[in-house]
Structure 1
Amino acid sequence: MSFYHHYLLEEDYYPVVRFYYYKEWRDFKMPVHSHEAIEIMYVLSGHCLIEVDGQMLKLKKGQFIFIDGNIPHRLQVEPGKTCRMSNIEFNFQQLQTVFPPFKDIVSEHNPLKLLTENPHSYLLFHDSCDISQCMHALILELDRKETNSVFTQQLLLSQILIRMAELAAQEQDTPEQNVYIQKSIEYMHRNYDRDIRVKDVADAVHLHPGYLHRIFKKSMGTSVNGYLINHRMDKAKELLTRTNITITDIPHYIGMNSQQYFSTIFRQQTGTTPKQYRKESRFRDYTETTGEHFIHSVNQR
């Protein structure tokens, strides 16, 4: 079953939880598997790795992942680490209830409508609203067994899907605001003068390097490493133009320990050597200054 199947918007179907848990995992490695149920995994504390559809993702507290039905995935908690999670698995069924069917809710809520129109094998979120509370309330209701209410379950599960759709719409409408991209850029701006690599950036924002590379390139049009190099070259140009730092020392000021590598990259980006760039920039500054002085002197006459 898929969350995006067309018949869910054509007939009266309802999301129904088939499996759920609160659990703390320790030193755990699940085999890759798939199932018909759609799954939401929420990290309450610690962190874990989730391999899904060929991608390895690192989730920390406050993040959750939505996995469509029949998508291969597995959970892994690294040795010596723990991860406490809440989890629900659900599919869609036809029910006897006065609660509105899924198709009616979709028709009344534009973000949910947009979500159903854009299929993804999985979606990764940072919870900025109340999904954790919604899942907690739903699991408590399910635990009531004999006294639980189908109507209440539908209400709580629909609320989770609505909030998730709103998060997805926010990320789609303002991709530059994506928290991972922002934090990656901030980390690189703070640490460009150190010998950092893509893995360091990914660790700082708690994502797998491969996943960070994919979302960063999609949003910024360049790779993480490409952005870092460009930023370092911009800083090198400032140092060449505004300071008397020796050219051999400049690589160390921008986190590049190899003079030869620095010179090669600089020439690729500017078409000139660092020495020529400094000479030409200072000549431009001199001619602009003397030119302004000459014009001022002529006007005074």
Structure 2
Amino acid sequence: MEHQKSGFFSKLVKGLAKTRNSIANGIDAIFSGFSNIDEDFYEELEETLIMADLGIKTTDAILENLRAKVKEQKIKEPAQCRELLINSMIEQMAVGETAYEFENRKSIVLIMGVNGVGKTTTVGKLAGQLKAQGKKVIVAAADTFRAAAIEQLTEWANRANVEIIAHKEGSDPAAVIFDAVTAFKARNADVLICDTAGRLHNKKNLMEELRKINRIIDRECPDVYRETLVVLDGTTGQNALAQAKEFNEVANLTGIVITKLDGTAKGGIAIAIQSELNIPVKYIGIGEHIEDLQKFNASDFVNALFQKNE
């Protein structure tokens, strides 16, 4: 397991190379280029962080935290700020103790996101990981809009050796959820993971669909723990933040999954989304294999951002 973890970290370091080149190099230049900590120093730092897709709100929060620490610890040297900045970012992103509570309870997990972000793959990987923990898992193919989504999920379910509840393309997603919830109860499963539709451009329909799905779950399984995750593509930067905001308006999001952090990703967006929406990043994905979806670790992520280029 440790080996898997270190392999994932090195992939993460590689995946964040683009962001690291813009953020860490810029920041190192600031730390070595300024001889004292003044307004110019903070302004340069602000610009570098915003350029790295951290967004204005997040950057403000990080710099405010940094200023307070510099004052408190009476720091005079810019170079000494580097560690403080890293710690400030880690604090911004730390995932709470109860973030993965759904793993310990009977739970229903709704997974949403626009098409093409790796949503169905995330459902499959998560199902595989929970199954490997010895849990009884059922997946529901409630993204009935796209035939390929149903086929893809069936393939993942077979690979993970978990049961799948699916109807044909174009059928009512709420009907799929109803059947899935019925199976979940009848078979005394631990976790039901639902792949839901990813059509943001038609927000009204999506809201209606999700309301219907939630009503069914609330009525049939009032005591089951609920987790609602949105999957975002790490390569799309600020666009991913916009999507997260929109999904948060239609659903009560409890966590974020960021995929495709392998190469072209704008890693700063992970920090921005968490800070802007106050919803934790719970998983990150950087590859095709089941183990390439991992629980988010704030210090690993920020340290990968600041790794010196070897």
Q: Same fold (TM over 0.5)?
A: no
More strand by share: 1
The higher radius of gyration belongs to: 1
Larger RCO: 1 or 2 (CA < 8 Å, sep 6+): 2
TM range (shorter): under 0.3
